[in-house]
Amino acid sequence: MDESLRHRRVLGIVGSTGDADIRRRHRELMKRYHPDRAPGGREREFLLRAQELNAAREWLLLHPASWVAQAPFASIELEPEMKTTTSRVAAQNRASAGFAVVAYAAGWVLKAMVVLYVLAWALQLVLLLAAILGM
């Protein structure tokens, strides 16, 4: 397997991404797999996982040309524990996208209300001027 693909699989990165996304994903996984947070008797397993995560992050950050060029064409099968995280993040993104649509629509409604208010004010001004001038 290609080095870039292997390291991206370790971090659970799919598709094109940037340095910030690599660092963010590494930080998320290190919070989960840090050896100090290992449940009873699994310190060695968590230590190996943390070393693997660190190596993947360092390799990807040192070789950006390899993963940037391949990212749009890569097909990655995520590890099982990462599938749940990815689906949870996708659900959060869908929820925030729904909120963004509502906020966008509310913004347009507010703009329409302001325009109607200004038009009503202008009509009152025209009617007042017509009354003063005796038209």
Domain enclosing residue 116, as ranges:
93-135
Tell me: the pLDDT tens digits for 38-89?
A: 888 888 888 888 899 888 888 888 877 665 555 444 445 555 555 455 555 5
Q: Is residue 88 part of a domain?
A: no
Q: Is residue 86 part of a domain?
A: no
Statement to judge: residues 103 and 54 lie in one domain = no
pTM of the shown model = 0.49
Tell me: the pLDDT tens digits for 105-125?
A: 777 888 889 999 999 999 999
In angstroms, the CA 72 to CA 75 distance is: 9
Statement to judge: residues 44 and 110 lie in one domain = no
Q: Is residue 99 part of a domain?
A: yes
Give the total number of structural domains in the chain: 2
Please say whether the beta carbons of 46 and 33 come within 8 A.
yes
Statement to judge: residues 71 and 9 lie in one domain = yes
Q: Is residue 103 part of a domain?
A: yes
Please say whether the beta carbons of 52 and 40 come within 8 A.
no
Amino acid 92: pLDDT: 59
